[in-house]
Amino acid sequence: MYRKALPVVVLAVVVACADDASAQAGQPWSDRGYFNLNVGFGSTSGTLNDSTTFTLYDETGTKTVDQGTDSGSLFDFSVGTRVWRNVSAGIGFHRGSTSGEASVLASVPNPIFFNSNRSVATTANELDRTERAIHLQIGYMVPLNERLSVHVTAGPSFFRLRQDVVTDVTVTEAGFPFTNVNAAPVVSERSDSAAGANIGVDVAYQLYETTNLKLGGGMFLRYSGASAKVTVLQNTVDSDLGGLQIGFGARVRF
């Protein structure tokens, strides 16, 4: 509940800052560039569900996988330079990782009786998911006063996904009287690349200043999106990447 509510609260703060920024849009940005370092989390969730049939004892059985996905925590940084007045050009990177599980169900024909399939369920644990993305960012920096600034950015994003999935279910007989079977999930790593876009807002507050550097802290709210292709048992399904992301960390202006 907290994870879902926090981005909404931050978005309200950003909108309030944007309203203030609109009145200050003419204030010049004098720094040469910026560097941001953050930790945070994403809000995207989804499923990687699939089912397939197989033939055993001249009858048809089924295998079904129900796997949920979640964005998890992320590490993020971005760096850029002022190219003209308040306009910036930069590049960002984020890496998000999490681990989940999948429910596996099999319906297995009986070696003795026809139309007497036996059901067996098991779980595959510690299915790792890693998402990496490079974000190209064209931005506009708005200094609200000597310490507070708002930076709006947008551009293309390039994602790389590595996802553990259940690619098969191995079924073995438990023995006479053949009322039970054993099932073991086969886990494999899938990967895919996808292109999308990003748009975000970064709010920074200066805490300390030297001759060449301004140091502070801040937060960002960004939406980035793309869709990867992941093959599970037999079919290829879509998996959403990016989504709404929020992070907090250090801000450097130079």
C-alpha dihedral over 180, 185, 186, 188, to 10 degrees? 170
pLDDT in tens, 125-174: 999 999 999 999 999 999 999 999 999 999 999 999 999 999 999 999 99
Instruction: Write out the residue range of the structural domain in which residue 45 sits.
Output: 2-27+39-253
14, containing H or E segment: helix 2-24
Residue 157 lies in a domain: yes
Residue 197 lies in a domain: yes
pLDDT in tens, 96-135: 999 999 999 999 999 999 999 999 999 999 999 999 999 9
Q: Which residue has the tokens 């959403």?
A: 240
pLDDT of residue 2 exceeding 70, the answer is no
Residue 199 lies in a domain: yes
Residue 152 lies in a domain: yes
Contacts 24+ apart (CB under 8 A), 7-16: 7/43, 7/221, 7/244, 7/246, 10/219, 10/221, 10/246, 11/221, 13/203, 14/150, 14/201, 14/203, 14/221
Residue 135 lies in a domain: yes
In total, how many domains does the chain have? Answer: 1
Residue 33 lies in a domain: no
Residue 200 lies in a domain: yes
Name residues whose C-beta falls within 8 Å of residue 26's C-beta, 6 or more positions apart in sequence: none
Residue 34 lies in a domain: no
